[in-house]
Amino acid sequence: MNQAIADTTAIDQKLSKRFIELDPSGYFIIYINRDERLIYAKHYGNIINDKGLACDPETGEP
């Protein structure tokens, strides 16, 4: 594995362990469509249980 990939993987693993407080209003995923030359933002709602975990809206499971 080259050094850049190893560094990126290490950073990703470190950041994945941090606490993130979920917003009950949801979150946005922002992405680019280069062919259309547009930036899109898609909103997703959050269902958060009593323990503060995001749950699947269909099953209610974390």
Domain boundaries, the chain: 19-62
The per-residue b/e assignment along 33-59, b for 16 or more CB within 10 angstroms, e otherwise, is eeeeeeeeeeeeeeeeeeeeeeeeeee
The stretches of the chain forming alpha helices (DSSP H) are 3-16
In contact, 24 and 48? CB cutoff 8 Å: yes
Tell me: the pLDDT tens digits for 2-61? 888 889 999 999 988 888 888 889 999 999 999 999 999 999 988 999 988 889 888 988
On the question of pLDDT at 62 being above 70, the answer is yes
User: pTM here?
Assistant: 0.55
